[in-house]
Chain A
Amino acid sequence: MSKRWAEVNGEAGPRADAHAPARPSKARTTMAFIFVAALYVWSGIGTETRPVSLLLGIPDMANLFSRMWPPNMAYLRTMVVPLMETMQMAVLGTALGAALAVPVVLVSSRNISRYRKAYYTARAVLNLVRTLPDILLASVFAAALGFGALPGVMALAVFSFGIIAKLTSETVEAIDPGPLEALSATGSPRINVVYYGVVPQVLPQFVAYCLYVFEINVRAATVLGLVGAGGIGMWLQRDMNLMMYRNASAIILLIFAFVLVMDFISNWLRGRLV
């Protein structure tokens, strides 16, 4: 750390003086500065950034908040079922994604995959799947299948699959090869090699990844309704559109509390695992 500190500062310790990297020339610094400034101006124009409109918008936002206050807590009684539905979507999405990931991991881990081509294909597919955010997938699935929980669950499943498969493959690639070689040497069939050599080594990590993805899915599931993919977000969307802001703020508080509690539970379970 201190070494890097010295390098960055360009004034390294007593011995390194002669080899200290030369400071970049003034011209280069100026060029870099102009380039970055131009990038900001260009982005500012492209995104119609007007700080003034933010200032002018403050009364509107304040008005929104004042109409949200006080939250209609009695309304939460009717939100129990949608909240449960949200959690159920997250549970199912994670479980389906994990189930899909298991067979793919066998192909996408370098040390147990047998066919180079299958390995590279699996890796490429996983990389592509992970570029699409969960909510984007949900909006496409909702348009394809109609509004409801099903597109939400499917989107979460695809998204979870991408992350769990990638993380688990990396874990499998890092396992101790000893047990695998020992099992192979005794002439065990491949299925036994995987079951007795790989599974015990990666199972705790695999479960930890599932819990981690579950946390992400809980957060996503609360807002999937905004794009029509089920859960409590649909009710929030409806209340916002109907300008029932006190109901909306109650839902927002509920989502907040829900995410915190689920994070806590998931963290506790993970702490016990690893």
Chain B
Amino acid sequence: MSAHRISPKSRLCRAFLLVGAVIVVLAWAARGVEFSLTRLGVGVPQVLRIMSLMWPFSWVHLPDVTVRLIETFQIAFLGTSIASVLAAPIGFLGARNLSRVRGQTYLAKFMLNAIRTFPELLLGLVFIRGVGPGPFAGVLTIGVHSIGMLGKLYAEVVEGIDTAPLEALAASGATRAQVVRYSVVPQVLPEFASQAIYRFEINMRAASILGLVGAGGIGTPLLFALYQHDWPRVGLILTGIMIVVTATDLVSSYLRSRLV
């Protein structure tokens, strides 16, 4: 299919080189972290043993776990809501087809990239500094960090809109604000909502780990249980996370299928 044909012999040669390179990289990586199959051979049975210690769950902690799972949902919900609103203006600025000022798209995309690259847990540490440990720090973390991805997806949505209604409105003498309000917003709103709901799925997972650095949610009791090696409680918490995340994914994909 390719434009330039490669002889079978040189293809074999290239394959060998590639496999060799991969092996060298893996060997380098394994040496660096003192990783070996024997260590894995010790680690895997150890993890399996601990998984067997998790059953039966310590049901006494069920009320607390339930409350914390609800808190996790609330963190993800508020955080996603904040981000879905804040991302909209940046998304519009980042869309090529609506940009008026030269360099505006680049600036917006650079900002979004920077936000996305900054690790969420580190952002969590910064907000804990500001508002103290607790779920509010988690809300702020998710609210700011999600702007990165949502803004990028929003910009892509705006870039994909149908321009005919825009031109029609502009031709009939609508102001720029009116054009955006009556031709752009109705087109992008369902897609924006769909992306925000998708991001909510990701944020449920994020909210469940933020507690490990002190930002509220189910991660908080998990951290205690891990410190105390209270495996039945860890098992209950992990199962709770699995159930809630699965439920969120199902509801979210149902909502999105109705939207778009």
Per-position binary interface string of chain B over residues 34-48, scored 1 when its CB falls under 8 Å from any chain A CB and 0 otherwise: 110001100110110
**Interface contact B206-A4, CB-CB below 8 Å:** no
Per-position binary interface string of chain A over residues 46-61, scored 1 when its CB falls under 8 Å from any chain B CB and 0 otherwise: 1111100110011011
Provide the bound-state CA to CA distance between A198 and B34, in Å. 36
A38 CB within 8 Å of chain B:
no
B70 CB within 8 Å of chain A:
yes
B242 contact from A40, A128, A219, Cβ within 8 A: A128
B46, B71, B122 interface centre (most CB from chain A within 10 Å): B122
B238 contact from A61, A88, A132, Cβ within 8 A: A132
**Complex contacts, A133 vs chain B, CB 8 Å:** 205-206, 208-209
**Complex contacts, A95 vs chain B, CB 8 Å:** 26, 29
Provide the bound-state CA to CA distance between A91 and B30, in Å. 9
**Complex contacts, B162 vs chain A, CB 8 Å:** 1-2, 5
Segment from A111-119, A145-153, A188-196 that makes contact with B = A145-153
Interface residues of B in 44-80 (CB under 8 A from A): 44, 46-47, 50, 70-71, 73-75, 77-78
A105 CB within 8 Å of chain B:
no
* Interface majority SS (helix, strand, loop, mixed), chain B: helix
A184 CB within 8 Å of chain B:
no
**Complex contacts, A222 vs chain B, CB 8 Å:** 119
Provide the bound-state CA to CA distance between A63 and B135, in Å. 22
B126 CB within 8 Å of chain A:
yes
**Interface contact B129-A259, CB-CB below 8 Å:** no
**Interface contact A57-B129, CB-CB below 8 Å:** yes
Provide the bound-state CA to CA distance between A268 and B117, in Å. 18
Provide the bound-state CA to CA distance between A255 and B195, in Å. 28
**Complex contacts, B139 vs chain A, CB 8 Å:** 47, 49
A127 CB within 8 Å of chain B:
yes
**Interface contact B47-A154, CB-CB below 8 Å:** yes
Segment from A14-22, A134-142, A174-182 that makes contact with B = A134-142
Segment from A71-79, A162-170, A223-231 that makes contact with B = A223-231
**Interface contact A140-B212, CB-CB below 8 Å:** no
State whether A223 and B122 are in contact (beta carbons under 8 Å apart), knowing that A39-B77, A46-B135, A260-B117 are contacts in the complex. yes
**Interface contact B126-A131, CB-CB below 8 Å:** no
Provide the bound-state CA to CA distance between A252 and B126, in Å. 12
Per-position binary interface string of chain A over residues 205-243, scored 1 when its CB falls under 8 Å from any chain B CB and 0 otherwise: 000000000000001001100110010000010001000
Nearest CB on A from B128, distance (A)? 9
A39, A139, A219 interface centre (most CB from chain B within 10 Å): A139
**Complex contacts, B174 vs chain A, CB 8 Å:** none
A34 CB within 8 Å of chain B:
no
**Interface contact B70-A140, CB-CB below 8 Å:** no
**Interface contact A141-B25, CB-CB below 8 Å:** no
State whether A143 and B229 are in contact (beta carbons under 8 Å apart), knowing that A40-B78, A226-B213 are contacts in the complex. yes
Provide the bound-state CA to CA distance between A84 and B32, in Å. 8
Segment from B2-10, B86-94, B95-103, B219-227 that makes contact with A = B219-227
Nearest CB on B from A119, distance (A)? 19
A42 CB within 8 Å of chain B:
yes
- Looking across the interface, which residue of chain A has its beta carbon closest to that of B242? A131
Per-position binary interface string of chain B over residues 126-152, scored 1 when its CB falls under 8 Å from any chain A CB and 0 otherwise: 110111101110111000000000000
B112 CB within 8 Å of chain A:
no
A185 CB within 8 Å of chain B:
no
Interface residues of A in 62-100 (CB under 8 A from B): 64, 84-85, 87-89, 91-92, 95
**Interface contact B78-A44, CB-CB below 8 Å:** yes
Provide the bound-state CA to CA distance between A8 and B162, in Å. 14
Nearest CB on B from A138, distance (A)? 9
**Complex contacts, A29 vs chain B, CB 8 Å:** none
Provide the bound-state CA to CA distance between A128 and B238, in Å. 11
Provide the bound-state CA to CA distance between A145 and B162, in Å. 55
**Complex contacts, B242 vs chain A, CB 8 Å:** 128, 131-132
A8 contact from B35, B134, B189, B222, Cβ within 8 A: B189
**Interface contact B208-A136, CB-CB below 8 Å:** yes
**Interface contact B226-A143, CB-CB below 8 Å:** yes
B119 contact from A42, A89, A255, Cβ within 8 A: A255
**Interface contact A143-B30, CB-CB below 8 Å:** no
A43 CB within 8 Å of chain B:
yes
- Which 10 A-B pairs have CB atoms at the shortest separation, nearest pair first? A57-B130, A88-B29, A47-B135, A43-B74, A143-B226, A149-B33, A88-B32, A131-B245, A91-B29, A61-B130
Binding site for B on A (CB under 8 A): 1-2, 4-5, 8-9, 39-40, 42-44, 46-50, 53-54, 57-58, 60-61, 64, 84-85, 87-89, 91-92, 95, 127-128, 131-133, 135-136, 139-145, 149-151, 153-154, 219, 222-223, 226-227, 230, 236, 240, 252, 255-256, 259-260, 263
Q: 19 A-B Cβ contacts within 8 A?
A: A49-B139, A50-B131, A53-B131, A58-B130, A64-B126, A92-B29, A92-B33, A127-B246, A131-B205, A131-B245, A135-B121, A135-B209, A136-B205, A136-B209, A136-B219, A143-B229, A150-B33, A154-B47, A226-B121
